[in-house]
Amino acid sequence: MNRRRLASSLLLSSLLLTLGLGCSGKDAASSLPEVKLTYWRTFDNSDTMSDIITAYTTLHPNVSIDYKKLRSDEYDNALLRAFADGTGPDIFSVHNSALGSYQSLLLPEPATTTIPYAEIQGTLRKQTVIITKVLPTVSIKTLKNDFVDTVAADVVFPYQPDPKVAAVDSIYGLPLAVDTLALYANKDLLNAASIPAAPANWQEFHDDVVKLTKLDSTGKIIQSGAGFGTSKNVNRAVDILSVLMMQNGANMVDDRGRVAFQTVPAGTPRDLFPAVDATTFYTDFANPTKDAYTWNESFPSSFDAFTAGQTAFYLGYSYDLPLIRTAAPKLNFTINNLPQITGGREVNYPNYWVESVSKDTKNPDWAWDFINFATRKENVTSYLTKAQKPTALRSLISTQLESEDLGVFAEQLLLAKSWYHGKDTAAMEKALNSFIDVILLGTTDPGNAIETTARIVSQTYE
C-alpha cells in the first residue's frame, strides 16, 4: 500500500471514530439514544397495533413503546389527571370532534424529524455506522391527497407558539381509520312488512317506518320502525342530527370558522331554516301526533332495542358491528348506506380518532416519526385487518369495498364531513340534545330555540 493510500485510509478511520461512526455493530447500536415512548388509546386491544409497533422497534432497536388501553368511560379523565401530574403519555388518541378541546395539550407535527439510524456500510469490510436522517413528515398537501377529505378539515389548526410570528397551519394528529354512520336493518322485520330492501333516501325511510310500526289498541308502540327522534335514548343522536342538517343544506360553520347552522344559507328562501326543518323531521318520529310516530323515551337505547328485535332500523358505525353480533348472535340484519335527501347534498358523517403527540413529550421527533410510520399504507393495513376498521387512506378504499362487513362504511368515506372545532364537545352535544328536546316538546318558537342553541355552541369556540 503506498503512503497516499495508507494516509487516506487512516484519515477515513480517524473521521469515523471521531464521529462515533466506525465501530462494531453492537457498539454502534448501543450508542443510539434509548427512547421510551408511552402510547395511550381506548377501544383497541394492544394486539391490533402489535405488528406496527414490532416493525417500528425492529427498525429502531433503541426504541421501546409501552401501549396502554384505557376504558372509554375513564379515558378523558385519566388523560387530564396524568397531564396535570406530569405523567401523561407521549402519544395518545384524540377523538376527531375533541381536537379543539385538547389542542392546548398537543404538539403539532413538525415539518421534519431528525432520527438517528444504525446502518451497515462497506463492501469488503462491513461496519455498522450511525447516521442521522432528516425526514419530511406528512405535509398538508400530502394529507389532502392521501387521506379522505374530512381528515384535513378536522386535524389542521393554526399554530402560533410566538405571538410575534404569524400563525402557521399545522397538523395536530393523523388517523389510522375513519368510520362512517350507516343504517343497520333487521331483515326479518323488513321481510315481514314486504319491504325488499333498506331505504336509500329519507322519504323511503319515512314510508318504511310507517309500514314497520305496530301499535296496540291503547296507542302503545309494540314494534318500532326505527330508534330515531329523541335525544336521550338514541345512540349518537347529535351525529344523526348533524348529518341531517348538512344534507338539508345547513352550513354548520361559516368560512371564518364561526357557528352558522342558525342562519339561512345564501340562495335559500328567507323563511326556510334548514337546520330547524331537519330537526323537525327527526323529532316527528317521536311525536305521537305525526304519522311517522315510532319511538319514545320508554324504549331502551336504540342499540339495545335493535339487538332485542324491538326496532327495525338502527343508525350506527362499524364499531357497533361486533357488539351487535355479541348481543344478538342470531339477529338477521343488513348494513346499508346512510339515507340521503333526494336531490339534496349528499353527505355522510365520520367518527374517528387521531393519533397525537403531547406537548410535554421529551421525544417529539420520535413520537411524530412513529405516527407517520404507523399511518402509512404499507404499515396501517395490519391494524385495519385486525381491528376491522374502515381506512382513512384514499388508496385503500377500493380494497375494502367488497368486504361484507366494511364495504358500506368504506364506500361512504369520500363524502364524509364533520364540523365541530370548539373546545367543549360535551357542552356542544348537550346544547344540540336540548334543541332536539325543545323541538319535540313544541312549546318554544323554533327560530328562538336555534338562536339560543347556536349561541351556546359558539361560546365553546372562545
Go through the domains of the chain in sequence order and give each one's CATH number: 19-176+353-398 (3.40.190.10), 179-352+418-459 (3.40.190.10)
Q: How confident is the model at residue 10 (pLDDT cuts 50, 70, 90)?
A: very low
Q: Contact at 8 Å (CB) between 77 and 128? A: no
Set of cell numbers at residue 75 = 379515558
Rg (CA), the chain: 27
Residue 60 has pLDDT above 50, yes or no: yes
**Sign of torsion, CA 22 27 28 32?**
negative
Q: How confident is the model at residue 7 (pLDDT cuts 50, 70, 90)?
A: very low
What average pLDDT does the chain have?
93
Amino acid at position 196, single letter = P
Find the mean pLDDT for residues 185-210: 99
Q: Contact at 8 Å (CB) between 91 and 39? A: yes
For residue 178, what pLDDT is reported? 99
Ranked by mean pLDDT, the top range of 22-26, 157-161, 305-309, 342-346 is 305-309
Residue-wise over 71-95: b if at least 16 C-beta within 10 A, else e?
A: eeeebbebbeebbeeeebbbbbbbb
Q: How confident is the model at residue 301 (pLDDT cuts 50, 70, 90)?
A: very high
Top pLDDT among 60 and 18 is at: 60
d(Cα 170, Cα 79) in Å, to the nearest integer? 23
Residue 12 has pLDDT above 90, yes or no: no
